[in-house]
Amino acid sequence: MTIGFRVLNAQRKVAAEWVARYREVPVANVSDSMNRMTAGGSRLRPMHRQGVLAGPALTVKARPGDNLMLHYALDIAEPGDVIVVDAGGDLTNALIGEMMVAYAVKRGVAGIVINGAIRDAANIGAGDFPLFAAGISHRGPYKDGPGEINVPIAIDGMVIEPGDLIIGDDDGLLCVPYDQVAEVYDRATAKHAAEEKQMRQIAEGTNDRSWVLESLKKKGCALP
């Protein structure tokens, strides 16, 4: 096996029913339900106009500034996949532009994550194809490799295994491990329901704020 230049087969993939369910839950609620311990880094921002990202990860580990393996990932991606590229966060060269996005849309890809740069930002920003990236550069990529597909990757400490659930909205990007989608979903939906109840109480003027003063007292805060 050639480490650093290889393409593997994915062994598992989160089911479409979970993808659909998670599309209705804010990423922040999911993050809270994972004890706020996982994040894809604050630099990864939505580059598209609007729309939620959700789907199983097709992972790509790329040499910074090189998109050869990303091109192949587009060729082998299945409809609904989210292509997640760890390119080291380097912003020197853009790895994707409007032509590759158009091809991804044609292939039925659910979205793309680039831990690196994009270009043709105005065109991508006017569309609704979910694309998250760390930045923008007019400089184009190289196409020499090496790289790997369907291997574990990590973005700012967030480990992503092939087939894990990737979700993203205006608050950022998150990976839910394959084996934890059911547990995290139950917690996240309960959290979301509690917040919706609290929003109604705020609107009605009935929300209980006594916990703030009680917390300060327990911590020995000097109060008037």
Give residues with Cβ within 8 angstroms of 55, minimum separation 6.
19, 80, 81, 82, 110, 111, 165, 166
Query: Which positions make up the binding site?
Result: 97-100, 119-120
Amino acid letter, 170: D
- For residue 144, give every residue at least 6 positions away whose Cβ sits within 8 Å of its Cβ, in sequence order, or none: 63, 66, 68
The Cα 43–Cα 116 span in angstroms is 9
The whole-angstrom separation of Cα 135 and Cα 186 is 34
Which tokens in the block code for residue 188? 């996240």
Distance CA 69, CA 195 (A): 42
Give the residue among 158, 167, 186, 165 at the shortest CA–CA distance from 26. Answer: 167
How far does Cα 49 stand from its chain's mean position?
16
Encoding tokens for residue 194?
């509690």
Instruction: Enumerate the known binding-site residues for Mg(2+).
Output: 120
Q: Which residues are annotated as a binding site for substrate?
A: 97-100, 119
Cα–Cα distance for residue pair 15/212, rounded to 1 Å: 41
